[in-house]
Amino acid sequence: MESKTLSARKITVAAVLSAVAVVLGATRLGFIPVPTPAGHATIMHVPAIIGAVLEGPVVGVIIGGIFGIYSFLDAGTPIFKDPLVAILPRLFIGLFAYYAYAWTKRWGIVTAVTLAAIIGTLTNTVLVLGTIVLRGYLDGKTALAVGITHGLPEIVVAVVITLPVVLAWWRVDTGRGKSDL
Amino acid sequence: MGQFEFLRQVTIGIYLPGDSPLHRLDPRVKLVGFAFLAGATALAPTVTAGLYLLLLSLLLLRIANVSLGFALSGLKPALPFLLMLALLELVFTPPMAAGPRCVAIWRWGPFLLSDCVLRLILLIFIRFAALIFLTSLLTLTTTTTEMGRGTEALLAPLNRLGLPGYELSLVLSLTFRFVPTIALEAERLVKAQLARGADFGEGGRWQFVRRARGMLPLTVPLFLLALQRAETMALAMEARGYAGGQGRTHYRALHFRRLDAVLLIVTLFLGLLAFLPSWPF
């Protein structure tokens, strides 16, 4: 039964983290000013990474999809008013982040979660810019420049946000040094 | 303190009550029609085809009794970005617009305006405007409940393939339900941490690590409270005997009327018109 339907826990975690992604976007809390052409690094994709690490690839993909749909519906920039750019690449954030985590888990949780955040963010940056180039909005060189200047701060920011959340949640869960926030 | 009233900034799920034909349309028809027209707009091959779709979406807004100003408000914040994008296209001619058949219209220093670049810029602008109108059209005339029911019905075929179609629509409805709650929670957290002397706005653009760390007193509790909410809710669902939702019935059944079918076919037909090869430019 587990294989065919999602457990109640997976459903609610996916829903709640998607809602966090939407709130981070709508309130602009999810945009951290950085010195790049775009002016800010987004952490809206972080819920997808966290969902993937905590509850598996399916939950990660669902959160990424809802984040994609939201960024398509509420896009302030014309490029993201293209469903191929806004939705499709976001599905892979959770997927790749989960496998990055699962394959490196034996190296310790901190390493694995850090790698999941890095891979998840890279997936977002590379695939979004890739589809932008494929759709012909920007040429390859410009996209590469945007990717490098924009991608690096975004990775750092994503790790800084993801790691404490996952570690704190698991500590609460296992009851070691329970924090009451 | 006005800047911390996050709930007001959440515009998703805003519904304009009304009694227009579009309000009364079956949500399944609305979702399919929207997806189809949005797809047609995103893929519209020429400027005139895009203009045609833009006019079509304006006509639909008129039918739905949505004021033009309301729909246009989504366009304003995007204008500076549109200008920047146009400049970028002028300086770095993208490969899509650099074919041998392009004719230069205007040249000044590094700027080269060929008819292909002009077409690309116009196309991006038109697509953007049309998609904004179509999106407002869907969200303003459909309640979140209808949206949930509609996606549930449309995702039902996935269940046959062994994919969690019902669960997906449940996740969507729950997301809609949780967005205001989490926005309120974020608001409370920001105010509480500011009262304790948190410095969310400190650090310049170059100190982005510091700024990201400065966000931790907000993001960690925000995520943890959200996850706790999810746990509680999962427990509540299981306590009420939730075991997959297949075969559940609804208090209000959706009725697919003949008018819905006719309008669906008309929408699909109007969308397909954009792909006629005869649209110039």
Write down the pLDDT at residue B11.
Answer: 63
Write down the pLDDT at residue B223.
Answer: 95
The pLDDT-based confidence of B277 (bands split at 50, 70, 90) is confident
Q: Is residue B201's pLDDT more than 70?
A: no
Taking the mean position of all CA atoms in its chain, how far away is CA B140? 12
Write down the pLDDT at residue A4.
Answer: 55
CA distance B116 to B93: 9
The pLDDT-based confidence of B273 (bands split at 50, 70, 90) is confident
Sign, Cα dihedral of A179, B4, B9, B15: positive
Interface test with A, best of B119, B126, B128, B223 (most A CBs within 10 A): B223
Write down the pLDDT at residue A127.
Answer: 93
As given in the structure block, the two tokens for residue B211 are 């700024």
Interface test with A, best of B152, B182, B200 (most A CBs within 10 A): B182
The closest CB to that of A19, out of B135, B179, B243, belongs to B179
Taking the mean position of all CA atoms in its chain, how far away is CA A168? 18
B23-56 pLDDT, tens digit each: 888 888 999 999 899 888 888 878 888 899 999 9
SS3 A31: strand
CA distance B215 to B223: 12
Average pLDDT in the B147-163 region?
A: 83
Query: What residues in A contact B93, CB-CB < 8 Å?
Result: 139
Q: In terms of CA atoms, which chain B residue is nearest residue A35?
A: B205
Write down the pLDDT at residue A85.
Answer: 86
Place of tokens 């296209």: B89
Query: What residues in A contact B123, CB-CB < 8 Å?
Result: none
Higher pLDDT, B279 or A54: A54
The closest CB to that of A16, out of B94, B124, B229, belongs to B229
Write down the pLDDT at residue B111.
Answer: 67
Higher pLDDT, B74 or B254: B254
Q: In terms of CA atoms, which chain B residue is nearest residue A14?
A: B171
* Torsion from C-alpha of B238, B241, B247, B252, nearest 10 degrees: -90
Q: Is residue A156's pLDDT more than 50?
A: yes
Query: What residues in B contact A28, CB-CB < 8 Å?
Result: 9
Q: How far from B67 is each of A83, B14, B63, B83, B269, CA to CA, in Å?
A: 26, 14, 10, 26, 26
Query: What residues in A contact B205, CB-CB < 8 Å?
Result: 33-35
As given in the structure block, the two tokens for residue A161 are 């946000």
Q: Is residue A180's pLDDT more than 50?
A: no
H-helix or E-strand containing B147?
A: helix B144-160
ipTM of the complex as predicted: 0.88
CA distance B225 to B123: 44
Write down the pLDDT at residue A89.
Answer: 93
Catalogue all structural domains in chain A, each as residue range(s) with its CATH number: 8-161 (1.10.1760.20)
Highest mean pLDDT among B78-82, B110-114, B169-173: B169-173
CB contact under 8 A, B227 and A169: yes
Taking the mean position of all CA atoms in its chain, how far away is CA B223? 24
**Which DSSP symbol is given to B74?**
T
Higher pLDDT, A107 or B94: A107
B64-108 pLDDT, tens digit each: 888 887 777 767 766 777 777 777 777 766 555 556 667 777 777
A63-99 pLDDT, tens digit each: 999 999 888 887 666 677 777 888 999 999 999 999 9
Higher pLDDT, B159 or B77: B159
Write down the pLDDT at residue A175.
Answer: 52
Q: In terms of CA atoms, which chain A residue is nearest residue B130?
A: A81
Place of tokens 């105010």: B191
Mean of pLDDT over chain B: 81
Query: What residues in A contact B38, CB-CB < 8 Å?
Result: 83
Nearest to A22 by CA among B86, B18, B69, B174: B174
Highest mean pLDDT among A73-82, B3-12, B180-189, B202-211: B180-189
SS3 B13: coil
Lowest mean pLDDT among A11-25, B71-85, B114-128, B205-219: B71-85
